[in-house]
Structure 1
Amino acid sequence: MQKRHLIRAALAMALVWPALSLVQAQSYPSKPVRLIVPFPAGGATDLFARTLSQKISEKLGQPLVVENRPGAGGTLGSDLAAKATPDGYTLLLSTSSTHSIGPNLNPRMPYDAVRDFTPIAHLGNAPSIMLVPNNSPAKTVKEWVEYAKKNPGRLNYASSGNGTIVQLSAELFKAQADVFVVHIPYKGTALAIPDLVSGKVDVLFDSLPTGLPHVRDGRLRALGVTSLKATPLAPGVPPIADVLPGYESTTWFGLFGPRGLQPGVVSRLNTAANQVLQDPEVIDKLQSLGIEPVGSTPVQFTTMLAKESAKWKKIISERKIMLE
């Protein structure tokens, strides 16, 4: 008898739950929403968040308040968001470093990048650019690959440190091109630029905002972009994938909630984010930051996350990449 009552109660909840979710979504949000950015103010992720926050606030009818919680490469703020109450009033705007790369570099992360979050929307991608000195004999990606194959172990690439997207872009390139190029880590790509200009460094995969000005000034040569297809962010620069099919290395930006966020709330936030990403003012601002607006469904974002994590896990494992 008791078992029958429990079954009836479970069935009743199964019928009521979608209705409750819909009601919650219709009334959400009823107060300001906190958007955690796990990186310092003034950085690319922070500027991205602030570009979107005002417009999304207008869509939601409540303020979306950016809160910077930097530390441990984005881990501290991400962990804070993961442990928040899943009511939609604490969100996270984070990147590939906290959800695709970091978990594969550090097995002791305080959160599980898959289990502890609800993916809401893939917001944007920031591709990099492959730079070489003007005195490099290679004028195309194909020529550089041929040059590297003829000089195994004699060429080098600069990075902004072990485990960074700069290093991983180069290691992915090496793996697909099957070339042996020596890694020289710097404390930031800005410190590597003078050595690249002088020819002491042979190649650097830099961000577009910091790398392109040197190309425009004639100090460096751009061979390719790391996006899968050509991008208006770097007019006239072909994708590396034209030579190495499937090559892609970008810093992605995404919106998350804690695990257990109600589907109705996820849908509300996803719709607002996608609408904002089509705003011409937002598009212009993001492009000035070297970011391509994307937009997605939660399912598409989840699929992308799995693909990115698998790609970097393979490279990190095969290339034995470790944090400093």
Structure 2
Amino acid sequence: MKSLLATASLALGLGPCGIAQAQEWPRQPIKIVANFAPGGAADQLARVISAPLQETLGQPVIVENRGGAGGNLGGDFVAKSPSDGYTFLMSSGGMVSINPHIYAKMPFDPAKDLVPVASVARVPFYLVVRADSPVKDFKSLVADLKANPGKRSFGSPGNGSSPHLAAEMMTGRTGTTAIHVPYRGAAPALTDLLGGQIDFLFDPGISIQHVKTGKLRMLAVASLKRAPQMPEVPTLDELGLKGFDADAVFGLYAPAGTRLAVIQRINAEVNRALALPAVRAHIETLGNVPEPLTPAAFGDKGAADFKRLGAVIRERGIRAD
């Protein structure tokens, strides 16, 4: 993680040469690779931010989905792309803070081959069940899991994903067990919850519309603070799991070696976009919270999560294979 943080911190200072290079860029379309399936948080946030970036940069900004292997397929593609400022990755911080702990062999090193560029949103995870579930609140969910050890199931966007870890943290803290069913993204997991194939889910926000239409019931938020979109829903911290924090920060990364002037420019444009009322409102409707950070602060967050979540992964024995 040290090299990632060092590279990010260098982005804070630009000389005249760097400024001149940034002014020459961009001269062609820019690609944002979302490393999870269409409809998930990475995909939706990439599309939210692409429109204002396209307007201010004066070039088309194209979103391409490359999901799979817990975000590693998209991450590997970007890590091995030219560092010319025309390919970026939109990813959960879990690719940096979680995947190196759970994959025996990574096709790339997130800490060395990618650099943090701009945080876009803090993504709370919402604990949801179907509206017709006999589980009415978090207390009754725990009681049901204890009465039916290993018989209930939960989905996630993939093995070792942030929602997977949220569920492992919850079952570990409550002394319960449930079967993990990994999917290739949050959207297919939500589809199976709605269809009755799984029993509960920690969702990155795309479930909120179904909660509001009465198809799902929200039991809790896996954050230290209540979500502004659902202020009536308690946090797991409030419900007795003190200090429970499973939030993930999603943002843009670039191939190592990308010019610091370009990183600085993208960071500034993303932070400017996050201040726009329409962009903030769009992100909030997704269940997320806009989170503008400097490249260095974004890197610091990844490093802190690398240590914190690594302890959970070792304790729970989570592996991707």
The alignment status of 1:295 with 2:287, answered yes or no, reads: no
Considering Cα pairs closer than 8 Å and 6+ residues apart, tell me whether 1 or 2 has the greater RCO. Answer: 2
Q: Which has the larger radius of gyration?
A: 1
Shift of 1:104: 2.1
2-side partners of 1:132 and 1:46: how far apart? 23
Among 52, 56, 59, the alignment partner of 1:59 is 56
1-side partners of 2:64 and 2:192: how far apart? 30
Aligned pairs (5 A) from 1:187-202: 188-193=189-194, 201=199
Aligned pairs (5 A) from 1:301-316: 301-316=298-313
Please, which runs of 5 or more residues in structure 2 have no aligned partner? 1-13, 184-188
Aligned pairs (5 A) from 1:103-122: 103-122=100-119
Residue identity over aligned pairs, in percent, reads: 32
User: Over residues 142-184 of structure 1, what are the superposed CA-to-partner deviations in whole Å (9 max), with x where a residue is unaligned?
Assistant: x459848986948845234643433311111233x35233335
Partner SS for 1:56:
helix
Q: Cα distance 1:64–1:219, how it changes in 2: closer, same or farther (>3 A)?
A: closer
The alignment status of 1:39 with 2:30, answered yes or no, reads: no
The alignment status of 1:129 with 2:130, answered yes or no, reads: no
**Equivalent position of 1:179 in the other structure:** 175
Aligned pairs (5 A) from 1:86-235: 86-131=83-128, 139=137, 141=138, 143=139, 147=143, 153=149, 156-160=152-156, 162-175=159-172, 177-185=173-181, 188-193=189-194, 201=199, 204-210=201-207, 213=210, 215-216=211-212, 221-235=217-231
Contact 2:142/2:174 (8 A) holds in 1: no
Deviates more, 1:276-285 or 1:64-73: 64-73
Among 8, 24, 38, the alignment partner of 1:27 is 24
Contact 1:148/1:155 (8 A) holds in 2: no
Aligned pairs (5 A) from 1:261-300: 261-300=258-297
Partner SS for 1:318:
helix
When normalised by structure 1's length, the TM-score is 0.79
Contact 1:148/1:179 (8 A) holds in 2: no
When normalised by structure 2's length, the TM-score is 0.79
2-side partners of 1:111 and 1:136: how far apart? 44
Q: Cα distance 1:71–1:178, how it changes in 2: closer, same or farther (>3 A)?
A: closer
Q: Cα distance 1:264–1:223, how it changes in 2: closer, same or farther (>3 A)?
A: same
Q: Cα distance 1:247–1:323, how it changes in 2: closer, same or farther (>3 A)?
A: same
User: Over residues 170-208 of structure 1, what are the superposed CA-to-partner deviations in whole Å (9 max), with x where a residue is unaligned?
Assistant: 111233x35233335376343345659xxx95x543343
AA at the equivalent of 1:45: A
Say how many residue pairs are matched: 300
AA at the equivalent of 1:27: E
**Equivalent position of 1:240 in the other structure:** 236
1-side partners of 2:67 and 2:228: how far apart? 31
User: Over residues 52-102 of structure 1, what are the superposed CA-to-partner deviations in whole Å (9 max), with x where a residue is unaligned?
Assistant: 112012222333232333444432221121122323222111223432333
1-side partners of 2:47 and 2:136: how far apart? 40
2-side partners of 1:266 and 1:294: how far apart? 17
Shift of 1:257: 1.0
Contact 2:207/2:216 (8 A) holds in 1: no
AA at the equivalent of 1:240: L
**Equivalent position of 1:249 in the other structure:** 246
2-side partners of 1:37 and 1:146: how far apart? 34
Q: Cα distance 1:306–1:138, how it changes in 2: closer, same or farther (>3 A)?
A: same
Partner SS for 2:110:
coil
Shift of 1:323: 3.0
Shift of 1:322: 2.6
Among 4, 13, 18, the alignment partner of 2:15 is 18
